[in-house]
Amino acid sequence: MKQSDSDIIEGILRGEEHGYAILLQRYRTRVYSLALRILRQSEEAEEAAQDAFIRAFRSLDRFEGRSRFSTWLYRITYNSAISHAARLRRQPPTEELEEEEHRSDALPSDLRIEQQELRDLVTDAIKVMRPEYAVVLTLFYLQEQGYEEIAEITGLPLGTVKNRLHRARAQLRRAVIRKYSYVPQTGP
């Protein structure tokens, strides 16, 4: 049986250090994905994700459990990636790194092809969106967070989250229409 996050955290606080590895394994792909949506460079996203985990683990004793652990961790990740982005803007421009495609290490075995195709389409559409839209769409569709949780993670007002999600959905809708539109060929 899979341990709950709160059971793992209680164990860590009692000195069971293997719990860190469990939480890292459970959330590393999603934390990296969120950081990548903000930073758009895999190396920078990896650094921000590592920083987020370090910050979270160092302050685990201050996690009060008022929200889910994942929401708390995504908030830390969001702040870490935003801080990283600010540092990058202050640095002189360097050669751009080619963005690696994000791969999930562990997908559920019962995932149907249609679901994976839709997930891939959403992921591809997110890659070309402005970060403020990509973040809310990632949190909503790929991380399955609700409006209130997204507002808590990003620190944005609920109305702003809804507005950005509405605009991001419109961009996603256009991407789906482009991908699946049939354009008849004229001539022989």
DSSP state of 67: S
What pLDDT does residue 71 have? 92
pLDDT digits (tens, 9 = 90+) for 88-124: 777 554 433 333 333 333 444 344 555 566 667 777 8
Structure tokens at 74: 């995504």
CA triple 137-83-74, angle to 5 deg? 40
| The domains spanning 1-93 and 108-188 adopt the same CATH topology | no
In terms of pTM, does the model score above 0.85? no
Query: Which residue ranges make up each domain of the chain?
Result: 1-93, 108-188
Fold exhibited by the domain 1-93: Rna Polymerase Sigma Factor; Chain: A (1.10.1740)
Structure confidence at residue 148 as a pLDDT band (50, 70, 90): very high
CATH of the structural domain 108-188, one choice from 1.10.3720.10, 1.10.10.10, 1.25.40.10, 3.40.50.360: 1.10.10.10
